[in-house]
Amino acid sequence: MDSDTPQILLVDDDPDICSFVRDYLTGEGYRVSVAGNAAAMREAIAQAPTDLVLLDIGLPDADGMVLARSLRAQRPELGIIMLTGRGDTIDRIVGLELGADDYLAKPFHLRELLARVKSVSRRKVRVSAAASATANSIVQFAGWRLNLLTRDLRSPAGAPIKLTRGEFDLLKVFVANPNHLLSRERLFDLTRGHESRPLDRAIDVQVGRLRRKLSDDPQSPRLIKTMRNGGYMFAAAVETGAAAQRGFAELRLTA
């Protein structure tokens, strides 16, 4: 079975329900394990990665509502579907408020359970992908922090620094190509596009403005160095995530 298939943990003290649900979801391609009480649930989660928990409210050794709240606090990314013999609207609302992603009253149709499992799994994948993209959009250099999605620049002291679009585009090219010599023409192409017509000293003016924003002394710059008869070089070490690196592909120099 594909290791990327979501791992489901069914927590219910009814052996018949466990058997039916496990067999059905396994037949649908899911990996399913079973726990009959809260203690077995904790042990199962500790021993193997778990993506989604089908959690019965009425366990013999714990309150399912309390367990849901505890699971959500410990594992924010975990999918949780509450199962209950009670169809009370208040119970459903409380369960969702405590952190459950969905709520299904017994008796339920197995196809309805499958639909809920697919829905929660899709939402979790989207949230995980969004979180990953956000994390990988952060670039750090010399204590500075740049968010490539929001264009938010923070100084080493945490102060927000406002960038114009031109300044952001130039800084984005620099952090995508640290320690590479970039000619003025190349910088103009990467920030303005090949269709634009280079203007005399346009890049020099933009570099000067960006240096001021970065508190980079133009007489002895540490970050953006002027190369004689060459152009500019971004001399800081850049730390960034793999996804952000891939997003820079169109800006990188070819080897």
pLDDT digits (tens, 9 = 90+) for 15-65: 999 999 999 999 999 999 999 999 999 999 988 889 999 999 889 888 888
Residue 41 lies in a domain: yes
- For Cα atoms 63, 34, 86, give the angle at the middle one, nearest 5 degrees: 40
Residue 171 lies in a domain: yes
Assign residue 160 the CATH number of its domain.
1.10.10.10
Contact 234, 224 (CB under 8 A): yes
Pick the last residue of a domain from 108, 134, 160.
134
Question: Are residues 55 and 113 located together in one domain of the fold?
Answer: yes
Question: Are residues 163 and 83 located together in one domain of the fold?
Answer: no
Question: Are residues 25 and 11 located together in one domain of the fold?
Answer: yes
Residue 27 lies in a domain: yes
The total domain count for the chain is 2
Assign residue 62 the CATH number of its domain.
3.40.50.2300
Q: Residue 127 corresponds to which tokens in the numbers above?
A: 């949230």
Residue 1 lies in a domain: no
Question: Are residues 57 and 124 located together in one domain of the fold?
Answer: yes
Per-residue confidence at 69, pLDDT binned at 50, 70, 90? Answer: confident
Pick the last residue of a domain from 109, 134, 159.
134
Looking at residue 107, its pLDDT comes to 87
Question: Are residues 46 and 145 located together in one domain of the fold?
Answer: no
DSSP string for 140-205: EETTEEEETTTTEEE-TT--EE---HHHHHHHHHHHHSTT-EE-HHHHHHHHH-TTSPP-TTHHHH
Q: Which amino acid is at 2?
A: D
202-213 vs 165-176: helix axis angle to the nearest 10? 90
pTM of the model: 0.52
Looking at residue 249, its pLDDT comes to 44
Cα separation, 135 vs 244, whole angstroms: 9
Residue 2 lies in a domain: no
Question: Are residues 54 and 123 located together in one domain of the fold?
Answer: yes
Residue 200 lies in a domain: yes
pLDDT digits (tens, 9 = 90+) for 108-152: 999 999 999 998 888 766 665 555 555 568 889 999 999 888 889
| Domain range for 192 | 138-251
